[in-house]
């Protein structure tokens, strides 16, 4: 009895394997173009990645190159004789820098810590006017920021 069950089980397994093989063959024949296309695409992808990594290998070369740094030439600043006296703006200094009275007003407001909007409200002008005067003022003082402009103006004796 065991031999018969074993025989039929083995025969059923062989038949199932045969059917799967036939199904596989049918699948390969039916979809062979897609299978070959996929294999070629995978091959080219792997080859492209390998070639890309091979060709774009970065090499870092560290070389010291001497660079001349331009020295900033400072304009000699006249210091008031007696710092105990109250500050009085000298219009001649402002004229030397080419600063207009309106730009000087804006510079004093910047030094007081006011924003562009607050300066515009205080002087009854638009915010864009304040920005224009500020940028021209920065150019005349060779400053990049508001704080630098205030510092340079104080050193030059334009504001207190």
Range(s) of the domain holding residue 129: 91-155
Looking at the predicted structure, is the pLDDT value of residue 105 above 80?
yes
Distance of CA 31 to the CA centre of its chain: 50
Number of domains in the chain: 2
Please state the rounded mean pLDDT for residues 54-74: 75
- Let me know if residue 59 belongs to a domain: no
Tens digits of per-residue pLDDT, 107-117? 889 999 899 99
Reported residue count of the chain is 160
- Let me know if residue 6 belongs to a domain: yes
- Let me know if residue 60 belongs to a domain: no
List the beta strands (DSSP E) in 13-157.
none
- Let me know if residue 83 belongs to a domain: no
- Let me know if residue 77 belongs to a domain: no
- Let me know if residue 72 belongs to a domain: no
- Lookup: tokens for 112: 């007081």
Closest CA to 99 of 152, 50, 48, 55: 152
* Whether 49 and 104 share a structural domain: no
| Dist. CA 142–CA 145, nearest whole Å | 10
Query: What does each C-alpha distance from 118 to 110, 143, 144 come to in angstroms?
Result: 10, 21, 21
Looking at the predicted structure, is the pLDDT value of residue 126 above 70?
yes
Q: What pLDDT score does 41 carry?
A: 93
- Let me know if residue 62 belongs to a domain: no
Looking at the predicted structure, is the pLDDT value of residue 147 above 70?
yes
Biggest CA pair distance of the chain:
127
- Lookup: tokens for 139: 């150019």
* Whether 95 and 50 share a structural domain: no
- Let me know if residue 13 belongs to a domain: yes
N-term to C-term CA, the chain = 117
Looking at the predicted structure, is the pLDDT value of residue 54 above 60?
yes
The mean pLDDT value of the chain amounts to 82
């Amino acid at each position: 009895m065991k031999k018969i069950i074993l025989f039929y089980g083995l025969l059923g397994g062989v038949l199932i394997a045969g059917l799967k093989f036939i199904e596989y063959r049918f699948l390969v024949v039916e979809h062979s173009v897609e299978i070959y296309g996929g294999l070629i695409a995978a091959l080219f992808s792997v080859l492209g990645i390998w070639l890309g990594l091979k060709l774009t290998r970065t090499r870092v070369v560290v070389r010291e190159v001497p660079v001349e740094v331009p020295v900033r030439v400072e304009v000699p600043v006249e210091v008031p004789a007696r710092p105990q006296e109250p500050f009085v703006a000298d219009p001649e200094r402002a004229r030397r820098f080419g600063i207009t009275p309106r730009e000087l007003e804006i510079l004093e407001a910047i030094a007081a810590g006011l924003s562009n909007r607050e300066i515009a409200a205080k002087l009854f002008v638009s915010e864009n006017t304040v920005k224009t005067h500020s940028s021209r003022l920065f150019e005349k003082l060779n400053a990049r920021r508001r704080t630098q402009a205030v510092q340079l103006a104080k050193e030059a004796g334009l504001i207190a």
